[in-house]
Amino acid sequence: MENIQLPYSSDELKSASFQRNHQFLLDLEKRVENHPVFDHPFLVKFANSEYSEEGVLFVLKQFGKIVMPFTAAICKLMGSAPDIKSRFMLMDNLYEEMGHNSLNNCHPVLYLKMLDSIGISQRGLEKTEAISSIRLLNNTIFDAVSNKSFAIGCSWLGFGGELTIPNNFPYLIQGIKNCFGSDIDMGFWNRHGARDQDHSDDATTVLCMNTNESEYKALENAVMDSLNLRSMIWSELEKICDEKYQAVFFNVTDKIADKIPA
């Protein structure tokens, strides 16, 4: 917990049901650690500057389509929390996402500031159509937090999403820095890092408090579906960027060699 005190007592955290659920999630995390969403080839290419500036701009606009609705999904999930302690746990994440007590530091606002620093207006982002895999992810998340059990909603929004951030974001940050250097506002990305592991741990804790063995299969399916969809996003972005936004590297040696008389 970053901003508020953990609401669960030591007895609750030591209970047999919590420990059993926690072990299940630890085992599940171990089983998915080699999932394609982690270290995806697209992320490696992006970090290695294999795409043009136009391609990086395209990716950042698409990623904005994931960032902007995230707080709304948290609010919907909070509404379905079965008790005040579970809602309290989610409030910590929401409070951080909403910039503590500062509108200017809300994550969506920080993302818009980043885009503005590289010439993309809020209107420009709003006019951008999300790729199909991102639309599918957002629609599925909102269905889960609105219509499924609280545990399933947590699996989609929390456990199945937060797991990817510590691995995925460094690739994006490296590619962005390579492309724009100090000309881009990195406030949004600077808000992520060690605290994302804390959010992942919090998501695990609240999920452990709100599930049982009868849901294990459904939870595993939800987590796998979440990771699969997020991997599909990287694959779709890779396909588009490979086709339209390959960086052009000037090979000086080859060009000089072409001018040397035979």
Domain boundaries, the chain: 11-259
Name 51's bridge partners. 246
The pLDDT, as a whole number, for residue 254 is 43
Q: How many CA atoms lie within 13 A of 133 on its CB side?
A: 18
> In the 8-state DSSP scheme, what is residue 214?
G
pLDDT tens digits for range 103-153: 777 899 999 999 999 999 999 999 999 999 999 999 999 999 999 999 999
Cα 12 versus chain centre, distance: 29
Handedness of CA 128, 195, 27, 88 (dihedral sign): negative
pLDDT tens digits for range 100-115: 777 777 899 999 999 9
The pLDDT, as a whole number, for residue 131 is 98
Angle at 41 between CA 37 and CA 44, to 5 degrees: 105
Mean pLDDT over the full length of the chain: 89
Q: Poorest-confidence range of 140-144, 172-176, 204-208, 258-262? A: 258-262
Name 246's bridge partners. 51
Q: Which residue has the higher pLDDT, 6 or 170?
A: 170
Distance CA 166, CA 171 (A): 10
| CATH 1.10.8.60 is the classification of domain 11-259 | no
Q: What is the mean pLDDT of residues 31-42?
A: 96
pLDDT tens digits for range 203-221: 889 999 999 999 999 999 9
| pTM exceeding the 0.85 threshold for the entire prediction | yes
CB of 176 closer than 8 Å to CB of 111? no
Q: Residue holding tokens 């590619």?
A: 175
Q: Count CB-CB contacts under 10 A for residue 145.
A: 23
> In the 8-state DSSP scheme, what is residue 246?
B
The pLDDT, as a whole number, for residue 192 is 74
State the Cα torsion 120-127-71-188 to the nearest 10°.
-10
With 70 as the cut, is the pLDDT of residue 8 above it?
Answer: yes
With 60 as the cut, is the pLDDT of residue 256 above it?
Answer: no
| pLDDT grade for 193, boundaries at 50, 70 and 90 | low
Six token digits for residue 163: 């797991």
The b-or-e profile of 191-230 (16+ CB within 10 A means b, else e) is bbeeebebbbebbbbbbbbbbeeebbeebbebbbbbbebb
